[in-house]
C-alpha cells in the first residue's frame, strides 16, 4: 500500500509534491482543466493540462505550485492506495459528536411518542453506522465524512437556543425535527468514494426521502401517534429549506419550522465561512464562493 504523506493540510505555499484524489471536474481554463482535489485533510482546486484524461475517483501524484489553487505541472496515476486516506473527514471524534447529540436529546426529547420515533432511528445500528459516516453535502456545506452528524448537532444546538430564547411553544418538536431534518441524506448521497448523488438522491432528494423514512418508521412502530405530532414533524422536514427556490416543497409556515430553517441556514453558511478561513490567510480575500455568493475579506 502507498504511504500517504504529506497531507494537504501540511503543505505550505510554493513547490509541492503530494498524492490527491480527483473529487470533481469543474471547468476548462484555457489549456487546463480545473478539478477539485482532496485527501482526508481537506480540499483544493487544481489546474491540470487538458491533454490528460482524468476521472473522479482516480488518485494522482502531482507536482506543482500551491497558492490558493494548485497549478500542476506533473501527474502520475496512483493505483495502490487506501481510500480512507482520500475521503475528507470531520476533525472531531465522531463519538464525541454523537454523545453531544444524545445529551441534547435527553434534555428535550422526553414525551413517549417523540422518544419512540427518535429511538426507531437512533437505536438502530444499521442506521447509526450510515448516519455517522454520512456527509452534509457534495460541495455546499459539511462535505466530509461525519459532516452529517456534525451538522445535525449544530442545528440541534442552535434550535435549542432559539427555542429557549423565544419561548417556542413546541420545543420538543423543534429539537426532534432538527435531529431528523437531514436523515434522508444517508440515501441521497454516496460517500463511499468520490462524493456524489445516488440515483434516489437525483430523483427525489433528501427532503422527500426523509419524509418517507418518517412514514415508514411510524408504520413499523405500530403504536399511536397524535395526528398533530406527525403533521408537525413531517411539516418541519418538508419546510426546512425555507423557500421554494431553495428546494423546499412548501414555504415555512410554523414557528418550529422557521426556527429549524434559521438554524439550518446559519450552520450551513458558517461551515462554508470556516472552510474559506482555513484556506485564506488573514487580511486577504478568499476565493468567490457560490453558496454565500461572495468572496470574504478575512
What is the DSSP annotation of 261-275? HHHHHHHHHHHHHHH
Residue with cell 502507498: 2
> For the chain, how many structural domains are there in total?
2
The CATH number linked to 63 is 2.40.50.200
Give the pLDDT confidence of 3-23 residue by residue, as tens digits. 788 999 889 889 999 999 999
pLDDT digits (tens, 9 = 90+) for 71-98: 999 999 999 899 989 998 999 999 999 9
pLDDT of residue 30: 83
Query: For residue 285, is it within any domain?
Result: no
- Higher local confidence (pLDDT), 158 or 139: 158
Per-residue pLDDT tens digits for 246-285: 888 999 999 999 999 999 999 999 999 988 888 788 998 9
Are 153 and 182 in the same domain?
yes
Q: Which of 74, 77, 115 is nearest to 223 (CA)?
A: 115
* pLDDT for 2 beyond 70: no
| Structural domain range at position 58 | 8-85
**CATH number of the CATH domain containing 135:** 1.10.3210
Residue 1 has pLDDT above 60, yes or no: no
Tens-digit pLDDT profile for residues 148-160: 999 999 999 999 9
**Percentage of the chain modeled with pLDDT above 70:** 99
Would you state the pLDDT for residue 28?
Answer: 87
- 193 contact partners, CB below 8 Å, separation of at least 6: 57, 83, 87
Amino acid at each position: 500500500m502507498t504511504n500517504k504523506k504529506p497531507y494537504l493540510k501540511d503543505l505550505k505555499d510554493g513547490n509541492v509534491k503530494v498524492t490527491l484524489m480527483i473529487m470533481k471536474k469543474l471547468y476548462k481554463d484555457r489549456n487546463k482543466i480545473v478539478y477539485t482535489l482532496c485527501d482526508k485533510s481537506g480540499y483544493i482546486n487544481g489546474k491540470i493540462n487538458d491533454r490528460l484524461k482524468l476521472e473522479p475517483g482516480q488518485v494522482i501524484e502531482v507536482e506543482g505550485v500551491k497558492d490558493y489553487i494548485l497549478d500542476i505541472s506533473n501527474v502520475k496515476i496512483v493505483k495502490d492506495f487506501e481510500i480512507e486516506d482520500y475521503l475528507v473527514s470531520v476533525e472531531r471524534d465522531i463519538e464525541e459528536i454523537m454523545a453531544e447529540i444524545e445529551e441534547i436529546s435527553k434534555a428535550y426529547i422526553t414525551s413517549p411518542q417523540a422518544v419512540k420515533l427518535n429511538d426507531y432511528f437512533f437505536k438502530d445500528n444499521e442506521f447509526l453506522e450510515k448516519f455517522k459516516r454520512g456527509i452534509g453535502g457534495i460541495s455546499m456545506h459539511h462535505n466530509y465524512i461525519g459532516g452529517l452528524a456534525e451538522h445535525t448537532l449544530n442545528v440541534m444546538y442552535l434550535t435549542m437556543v432559539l427555542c429557549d430564547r423565544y419561548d417556542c411553544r413546541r420545543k420538543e418538536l423543534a429539537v426532534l425535527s432538527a435531529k431528523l431534518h437531514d436523515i434522508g441524506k444517508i440515501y441521497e448521497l454516496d460517500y463511499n468514494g468520490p462524493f456524489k448523488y445516488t440515483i434516489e438522491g437525483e430523483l427525489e432528494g433528501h427532503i422527500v426521502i426523509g419524509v418517507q423514512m418518517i412514514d415508514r418508521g411510524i408504520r413499523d412502530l405500530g403504536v399511536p401517534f397524535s395526528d398533530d405530532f406527525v403533521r408537525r414533524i413531517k411539516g418541519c422536514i418538508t419546510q426546512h429549506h425555507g423557500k421554494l427556490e431553495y428546494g423546499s416543497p412548501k414555504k415555512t409556515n410554523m414557528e418550529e419550522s422557521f426556527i429549524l430553517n434559521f438554524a439550518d441556514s446559519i450552520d450551513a453558511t458558517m461551515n462554508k465561512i470556516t472552510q474559506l478561513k482555513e484556506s485564506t490567510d488573514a487580511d486577504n480575500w478568499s476565493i468567490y464562493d457560490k453558496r454565500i455568493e461572495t468572496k470574504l475579506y478575512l
